[in-house]
């Protein structure tokens, strides 16, 4: 019966979306060297303003440091906030013809084809664009492309769970030893987490969710918050499956990947605004993002030809138990997204707590 209910709940996802070409869709293909673009950016003023999706203000400090170290004299003004808020604020800029952001890097993948169709994005292919997985980019207009593959893993603190040698499935979280030990992001507050639950319940049914609630998990806002809590000695919770920690998460933290349902992975997607006030600086930033030197530092590269040193997966397209193109299809089907969201809101209530960017947990 639970499987029938799950099927009724989850049916309706579309399986593809098409990019409709916007006006003047032919892209500019970059042929300059990185140093030539750097020189043009310095002459322009040496500043680039970027909005990056995330839920901790300092989440992209390492990107800022790497960019400014690589290009002395350049300033990367990077703002991190939830993608669902940044996209609506960008729409306001576009509506009022007052674009002051140069570049966006967001999780709201459904917005990029729309902005491309509206003529809001610059049709520009940085060096390395041809190496990006075709499914992660608009190959015709070059107006948007993934730069890094994000993913959720199963994560736990071995110091807090000394008797747990491994977690290999979502079903493991239903074992007695995880009672009161789980911390999870509200699925009705973050679309990537919503998609994680969507995929799990496609395989394990609504009974899995009912049994998860019996484990008395701690529900939080933000996808960085669970990892902060399970890592912290002052918190009792010790395990999660809704946080990104890379492949080398640190002392006492182990990660694994599920075998009983798919885990979420997607290309965090970037674009330059057509009316960016600092177009040369934005181009420099995007050429840096897709450069082999930077891509090799990422847990999972969006380029087919880059094998990140820390990654056990060298071909994300053929990694077991994940499909990095599925999240974009889910995000484009807003009817299904809202229907599934309200299922969880009905069970859990609205997400409680301040935005993770201002909450001290």
The helix-helix angle for 34-44 and 279-289 (nearest 10°) equals 150
Reported as a single tens digit per residue, the pLDDT across 205-232 is 999 999 999 999 999 999 999 999 999 9
Q: Note the pLDDT of residue 357.
A: 60
> Using CA atoms, how far apart are residues 295 and 259, in angstroms rounded to an integer?
28
Domains of the chain with CATH codes: 2-10+152-264+329-348 (3.40.190.10), 28-150+267-314 (3.40.190.10)
Instruction: Give the integer Cα–Cα distance in Å for 95 and 351.
Output: 29
| Predicted TM-score (pTM) of this structure | 0.89
SS3 38: helix
- Residues in the chain with pLDDT < 50? 1-23
Q: What pLDDT shows up at residue 356?
A: 67
The helix/strand/coil state of 157 is strand
83-100 pLDDT tens trace: 999 999 999 999 999 999
CA diameter of the chain: 66
Dist. CA 171–CA 187, nearest whole Å: 18
Q: How far apart are CA 121 and CA 154, in angstroms?
A: 36
DSSP string of 161-223, one letter each residue: -TT-----SGGGGGSGGGTTTBEEE-TTT-HHHHHHHHHHHHHHHHHHHHHHHTT-PEEESSS
Alpha-carbon span 193 to 200, nearest angstrom: 11
Helices (H), the chain: 2-10, 34-44, 61-70, 83-95, 111-117, 191-213, 225-231, 279-289, 292-295, 326-332, 334-348
Please report where in the chains the tokens 């110091």 appear, as a residue: 159
Structure token pair of residue 346: 């009905």
């Amino acid at each position: 019966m639970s499987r029938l209910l799950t099927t009724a709940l989850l049916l309706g996802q579309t399986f593809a979306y098409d990019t409709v070409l916007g006006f003047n869709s032919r892209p500019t293909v970059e042929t300059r060297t990185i140093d030539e673009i750097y020189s043009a950016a310095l002459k322009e003023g040496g500043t680039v303003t970027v909005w990056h999706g995330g839920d901790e203000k300092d989440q992209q400090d390492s990107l800022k440091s790497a960019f400014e170290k690589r290009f002395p004299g350049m300033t990367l003004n990077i703002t991190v906030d939830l993608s669902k808020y940044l996209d609506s604020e960008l729409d306001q800029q576009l509506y009022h013809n007052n674009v002051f952001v140069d570049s966006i890097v967001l999780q709201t993948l459904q917005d990029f084809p729309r902005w491309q169709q509206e003529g809001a994005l610059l049709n520009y292919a940085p060096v390395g664009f041809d190496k990006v997985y075709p499914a992660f980019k608009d190959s015709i207009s070059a107006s948007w492309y993934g730069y890094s593959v994000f993913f959720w893993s199963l994560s736990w603190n071995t110091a807090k769970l000394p008797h747990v040698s491994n977690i290999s499935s979502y079903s493991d979280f239903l074992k007695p030893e995880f009672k009161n030990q789980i911390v999870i992001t509200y699925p009705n507050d973050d679309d990537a987490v919503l998609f994680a639950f969507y995929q799990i319940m496609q395989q394990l049914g609504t009974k899995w969710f009912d049994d998860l609630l019996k484990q008395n998990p701690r529900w939080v806002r933000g996808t960085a918050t669970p990892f902060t809590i399970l890592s912290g000695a002052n918190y009792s919770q010790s395990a999660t499956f809704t946080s990104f920690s890379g492949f080398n998460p640190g002392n006492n933290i182990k990660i694994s990947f599920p075998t009983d349902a798919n885990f979420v992975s997607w290309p965090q997607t970037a674009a330059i605004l057509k009316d960016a006030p600092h177009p040369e600086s934005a181009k420099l930033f995007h050429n840096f993002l897709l450069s082999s030197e930077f891509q090799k530092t990422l847990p999972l590269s969006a380029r087919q030809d880059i094998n990140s040193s820390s990654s056990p997966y060298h071909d994300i397209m053929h990694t077991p138990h994940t499909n990095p193109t599925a999240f974009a299809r889910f995000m484009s089907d807003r009817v299904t997204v809202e229907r599934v969201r309200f299922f969880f809101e009905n069970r859990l209530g609205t997400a409680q707590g301040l935005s993770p960017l201002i909450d001290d947990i």
